[in-house]
A and B are shown apart, each in its own frame.
Chain A
Amino acid sequence: MWPEQIHRELSSAGVRVVGYVPDAGHKRLIELCQADKKMRAVVLTTEEEGIGLAAGAWLGGQKSVLLMQSSGVGNVVNVLGMVRECRFPLVTLVTMRGEQGEFNPWQVPMGQAVRPVLEAMGTVVHAPAAEAEIVPTVNAALRLAYNSYASVAVLIPQRVIGIKSFQDQAAR
């Protein structure tokens, strides 16, 4: 499954710090990172904190990844300015809401704005269309970010996560 495979990619890339605001779509990956003794999983009160965390970790010589739901993209906009100005490498894995088959109308505005908002702030957006593309895309994002000092976001499509209702979400 893709969460296990993403965890292996993070591990082999030497990621040591994992900042996250939970999302149902990231549930398994968060568990894997929490169980990994070489990784420090850091629960955040808002996604914005994850940008500072990643910047500080890189200043100290460590690679990190930031996990969030699409709604969190709206919470990081201003501080992405620091990422760009300082050329901090940053890998953000965004589980998407507000796209195919969304059942909560309040998710739609931010979900639909994710790509233009990130691109406006200088983040490269990778959007794998199918499950089989997710892991190679994460691999490429890690290399782009850490070899080229870039901010890269991978949007994991709602169709792949496959939550179709509030009841389904609560059951996970």
Chain B
Amino acid sequence: MKRRDVVRLLLKNRKDLLVVAGLGSTAWDITAAGDSPLSFPMWGAMGQAAMIGLGLALAQPKRRVLVITGDGEMLMGMGSLATIGVQKAANLTVVVIDNERYGETGMQETHTAHGIDLNGVARACGLNVVDYKDLPKTIHETKGPNFAVVKVDAEKIPLVLPPREGALLKARLRRALLGAKADAV
């Protein structure tokens, strides 16, 4: 499968879904699908995408939260799956777009190219592991925390860059989500 097609499908009819994307290719993927103030594309802090999703999900229990990240980023924050498993955030889904490569640094193989099974890790941590075909429904409806690995082609494709200023990305999401409360003390 092609990663951009997968992410476009996940974000189709996203409504008021809150989206966190891990640094690198998945941040470009969500931007290619259509940038939104309710997206938080990361440019650093590798390993923290799922935890930002958890913090957001705990703070906004009535909203659905989707983390889209890469296999390398998820591997760096694998402990966060244990933390998410303890917190049982029902409104959180984490999707790993797995090309078995570190895409930004020369397409070196990650651990998943050698059989390391992130679905197995997530399952052992108590997350609800779902199939790709069920994801569009899962993201919006299924009690989580949900998790899926989607295997995609290892391809080099054009960059589609979101805004890069961190303070802007933070402030625009808070304003879109919280309205006037975003600026209240």
Q: A-side binding surface: helix, strand, loop or mixed?
A: helix
Contact between A52 and B51, CB atoms less than 8 A apart? yes
**Closest residue to B181 on the A side, CB-wise?**
A61
Q: Which residues of A contact B165 (CB under 8 A)?
A: 85
**Bound-complex Cα distance A61 to B177 (A):** 9
Which of B50, B51, B77, B80 has the most C-beta atoms of chain A within 10 angstroms of its own C-beta? B51
Whether a CB of chain B sits under 8 angstroms from the CB of A169 is no
Whether a CB of chain A sits under 8 angstroms from the CB of B170 is yes
Whether a CB of chain A sits under 8 angstroms from the CB of B157 is no
Q: Which residues 71-89 in A have Cβ within 8 Å of B in the complex?
A: 78-79, 81-82, 85-88
Contact between B174 and A56, CB atoms less than 8 A apart? no
**Bound-complex Cα distance A61 to B176 (A):** 11
**Bound-complex Cα distance A58 to B42 (A):** 15
Whether a CB of chain B sits under 8 angstroms from the CB of A42 is yes
Known: A16-B59, A79-B45. A59 touches B83 (CB 8 A): no
Contact between B45 and A49, CB atoms less than 8 A apart? no
Q: B-side binding surface: helix, strand, loop or mixed?
A: helix
Contact between B44 and A57, CB atoms less than 8 A apart? no
Counting contact residues on chain B (CB < 8 A from A), the size range is 35 or more
Q: Which residues of B contact A147 (CB under 8 A)?
A: 185
Contact between A82 and B44, CB atoms less than 8 A apart? yes
**Bound-complex Cα distance A88 to B181 (A):** 16
Contact between A60 and B166, CB atoms less than 8 A apart? no
**Closest residue to B87 on the A side, CB-wise?**
A42
Known: A62-B59, A81-B45, A85-B166. A53 touches B177 (CB 8 A): no
A-B contact pairs, 6 of them (CB 8 A): A40-B87, A52-B47, A52-B49, A53-B58, A54-B55, A59-B18
- Contacts A52-B51, A58-B59 known; 14 new A-B pairs at CB < 8 A: A42-B83, A42-B86, A50-B51, A51-B51, A52-B49, A53-B51, A53-B54, A55-B55, A56-B20, A57-B58, A60-B60, A61-B181, A85-B165, A146-B185
Residue ranges of B at the interface with A (Cβ–Cβ < 8 Å): 18, 20, 40, 42-60, 63, 77, 79-80, 82-83, 86-87, 165-167, 169-170, 173-174, 177-178, 181-182, 185
